[in-house]
Structure formats: C-alpha cells, structure tokens
Amino acid sequence: MTTPVVPVTAGTPVDDLPTGGPVLGRISYRIPVIYAVLAAVSLLGLAGTLFRRDGVWGQSTEFQSRYGDQWFTIPNFSVPSLLSIIVLTVLMAGAAVYAYVLTAARRTVPVWLHIVVGLSFVVAFLTWAGAGKTSVIPVTSLLAGALALSVPLIFGAMSGVVCERSGIINIAIEGQLLFGAFAAAVVASLATQPYLGLVAAPIAGALVGALLAWFAVRYHVNQIIIGVVLNTLVLGLTSFFFSTLLADNRETWNARQPLGIIEIPLLSQIPIVGPVLFRQTILVYLMYATVIILQVMLFRSRWGLRTRAVGEHPKAADTVGIHVNKRRVWNSILGGAIAGLGGAFFTIGSGLAFGREMSAGNGFIALAAMILGRWNPTGALVAALLFGFSKNLGNVLGTIGSPMPSQILAMLPYVITIFAVAGLVGRVRAPAAEGVPYTK
C-alpha cells in the first residue's frame, strides 16, 4: 500500500477566515402557512354554519365502517360534531405553530406532522359535512371508491416513471390507457373470457409506446408533440370503431366481461382497510406488484441503474457500452404496456363496456401524479391515491347531501392537486436528459 496523496493545504481553512456574520437565505414559511390556512378554513366552516338551523350546533356525525360481509364489524359510531371539529381545528393550529417554530429554527418539518394535519383536516371536513344528516359517512366505501378511481392513475404514473427515467417524455399515457381499455373490452368480449382482455390491454398500450419510441428515437420528433398526436390518433381510432363495428354488433364486440373479485383470506377481514385492499380483481393486485417491483428494480437493479443513467447522462452511459437508444425504446414499450394494463381497469376491471373517450383525461392526471411524486414509484403512488381520494370524496359528499354546492365538490381533486404541487412539492428535478434525443 502506498501513502495516500494528501493535498498540501495546511494552514487555516478558508471557512475560518475572520469575516462578518454569515449571510443566510430567506426562510420559506410555506409549510406553516399551509397548515394555518387549513386550520383557518376549518374554523370558517365551523363559524359559517354554527348558528344556522342545519349547522353543527348540538348535532352529531355518524361514521360507518361496514362494507360487505365480514366476520366481525365495528358498529356505526357517532361523534359530537361541534366538539370534534373544535378539537381537530386546535390540533391543526397547534401543528401550524409547531411548524413555524421548527422552520424559524431552520429545521425541517417531519413527515408525520403532514400526515396528522392532513388527516385532521379530512376528518374535520367529513364531520362537518355529515353533521345532523340522517345518512352516515361510509368510511370504508369512501376508501374503496378512492382506490378504484386511483388504479388507472397509478398504472399511468408508473408508465410515466418507466419512460421518463430513461429520458422519453410520455404524454401519450392518455392514449395508452384508452387503447388498453378498448383492446381489453373487445378481446374479452370476442373470447367471452375477461382474462384474455388482460393480455390484450398491455399489448395495445405497448403498441402506442413503440410508436412513440419509433418517432422520438429514430426521427427525433419532439416528444411532446408526438405524444399529443398519438393521443388524438387513439381517440380517433377507438371512436371510429366504437360508432361502427362495436355499435353494430354490441353482443359480440362490446359485451360486458367483468373480472372476478378475488378475496384474500384473513387479510380481507381486517376492519376498514381489509375489504378495501384485499377484496379486489386481479388487476388491482397486479397494480400493487407493479409499484413494488418498480420501486425495487429502479433503484436496486442493473436495469434501473442503466435506465437512470440513460435518462440523466446518456453520453456517460454510451461510453460504458450501454446502448442508449435501445434502452429508451424498450422502456418506452414497457411503459406503454403498463399504461395499457391500467386502461383495462376502465372496461373489464370495472365491469363496463367500452365507451367513447372513457379515459377522460386520466392520463394527464397520471402525468401530474408522477411529477408530484418526483419520478419515484412510491411518490407517484401516494400522489395518485391523493387524487383518487379527493375525487371520490366529492362523489360521496354529493350523495349524502353536503352543505357545499356540487360544482365546488367537483373542483376538489383539481384544487387539491394544485395545492399539493405548488405548496408541498415546490421545485422538482426531472431526469436531466428528458426529452432530448441522443446522437453520438
């Protein structure tokens, strides 16, 4: 062993130079402000309805957790509305103060505090909305619906992660979802076998992914433009077949072929979350597997390392013998397949026939979820779930009759997404070579 090469830099290190006090950056009080706003909204909601006849004064709110058959169920329980909301509001205000103290001392606000504040706000909101209603707040079905609405978003976001980590911008998620939904419905209907639909959907999605890769990698077409074009192409194609072939002979071409529910023994008996997570179709279990496998593979496997290298610094990857463009093409096809599988949820996953434009913008929301989740599978999962939950919250409140106008409720998911992106995520770092064609 040789002696280490030590730089000749004895003497005073520069950090100890006698100079004035340090100039520090401005502190960002974003998080305490968000907490305070949530507490204030909660307080205003309370004050606004306190003295009205249908307000929360002296009322109670009933929650229900029963959902299908279970071995044992928690009976419905009610809480005094006013007291609950006050306690939760005080909790949020306290969290805002604590976050302020932490931020002022230049320390980071812990993640659990976000969860506490988020949960408090949601529960306070539900208590307020359900105060004095004859109908109960169906907690479990609220969550189950939220998961259902999230499934295509999660698949779409995973597709985005796989493509964009390798440097291909995938705007075509929308088209891949729609084509997957179409192929699943048609194949399942023709074969009268829903599981064959599960094979057809990823193939259809992969086809769109392959087209994207072909134009982007071979011809260097701007990836955003080609993505939008592919979405339009799929929309046109599926609408055409829907109004001709599928409409003419619905029984053969577009019959409903729902995937069966598979119940996981024991796990599905857990109160509240059991039936939500473990009484699902195979598609949902595939979704769990996809997220977990991607999270592990992306950061722990050879494929993941190479994918990230190609998306961050393709030339560096090339100099160690990695085929940049080949990797991008395959990732684009794989991403397409994942989104296609997600599309199957709209038709065979939900037991519906194919309908025109049935992906309804989910691909773009999935893209937002991926960015919100910082190009990480688990982050994107949480973001997609948040979106699905807020959307279903709007639906449920609409049915139980909340004091809020339905238009406001319909805005809920978008408002929450904007707040989450602007408030909690802030600046994000995309893969450095995203959208840039690679040439030697």
Partner 1 sequence: MKLELRGITKVFGSLVANDHIDLIVEPGEIHALLGENGAGKSTLMNVLYGLYDPDDGQILLDDEPVTFPGPGDAVRAGIGMVHQHFMLVPVFTVAESVALGYEPAGPAGILDLASARRKVQEISERFGFDVDPDALIEDLPVGVQQRVEIIKALSRDAQILILDEPTAVLTPQETDELIKIMGELKAAGTSIVFITHKLREVRAVADRITVIRRGKVVGEASPESTETELASLMVGRSVNLSVEKSPAEVRDHGLVVSDLTVLNGSTPVVDRVTFEVNGGEILAIAGVQGNGQTELAEVILGIEEAAAGSVSLDGEELLGRTVRQRLRSGLGFVPEDRSTDGVVASFSIAENLVLDLYSTDEFSRGVSLNLDRIAQNAEARTKEFDVRLTHIDDPISTLSGGNAQKVVLAREMSRPLRLLVASQPTRGLDVGSIEFVHKRIVAERDQGTPVIIVSTELDEVLALADRVAVMYRGRIVGIIDAAEAGADGINRDALGLMMAGVPLEDAVQQAAGHRSVLASADAAAEGKDLT
Q: How many residues bind partner 1 (CB under 8 A)?
A: 43
Alpha-carbon gap, residue 374 to 363, rounded angstroms: 17
Angle at 10 between CA 8 and CA 11, to 5 degrees: 145
Q: Does 396 bind partner 1 (CB under 8 A)?
A: no
Give 66 or 306: the residue with its C-beta nearer to partner 1: 306
Compare residues 23 and 111 and give the one whose CB is closer to partner 1: 23
Q: Which residue in the set 57, 288, 303, 438 belongs to the binding site for partner 1 (CB under 8 A)?
A: 303
Q: Alpha-carbon Rg of the chain, whole angstroms? A: 25
Cα-to-chain-centroid distance, residue 32? 24
Tokens 């493509």 correspond to 163
Is residue 8 a contact point for partner 1 (CB under 8 A)? yes
Could you say whether residue 97 binds partner 1 (CB under 8 A)? no
By DSSP bridging, strand 261-263 and strand 279-281 are antiparallel
- Distances in Å between the alpha carbon of 295 and those of 250, 377, 429? 40, 5, 18
Query: Nearest approach, Cβ of 201 to partner 1 (angstroms)?
Result: 24
Identify which range of 9-17, 357-365, 397-405, 408-416 contacts partner 1 by CB under 8 A: 9-17
- Kindly tell me which residue out of 40, 297, 400, 421 binds partner 1, with binding defined by CB under 8 A: 297
- List the structure tokens of 216: 């982007």
Contact between 9 and partner 1 (CB under 8 A)? yes
Q: Does 302 bind partner 1 (CB under 8 A)?
A: yes
Q: Which is nearer to partner 1, 279 or 327 (CB)?
A: 327
* Amino acid symbol at 106: R
Token pair 């295509």 in the structure block, residue: 152
CB of 374 to partner 1, least distance (A): 12
Those residues with Cβ within 8 angstroms of residue 79's Cβ, 6 or more apart along the chain or in another chain: 60, 61, 63, 127
Distance of CA 21 to CAs 18, 28, 68, 103, 410, Å? Answer: 9, 21, 65, 20, 52
If one asks whether residue 263 binds partner 1 (CB under 8 A), the answer comes out as: no
From candidates 1, 53, 111, 439, binder to partner 1 by CB under 8 A: 1
x/- binding map, residues 306-325, to partner 1, per CB under 8 A?
Answer: x-xx--xx-xxxxxxxx---
Q: Which is nearer to partner 1, 4 or 265 (CB)?
A: 4
Instruction: Judge contact between 277 and 266, C-beta under 8 A.
Output: no
Nearer to partner 1, 5 or 112 (CB): 5
Element (H, E) at 223: helix 223-241
Instruction: Indicate the residue among 120 and 307 with the shorter CB distance to partner 1.
Output: 307
Nearest to 169 by CA among 437, 440, 435, 438: 435
Question: Residues in the site for partner 1, rule: CB under 8 A?
Answer: 1-5, 7-14, 17, 19-20, 22-26, 296-297, 300-303, 305-306, 308-309, 312-313, 315-322, 432, 440
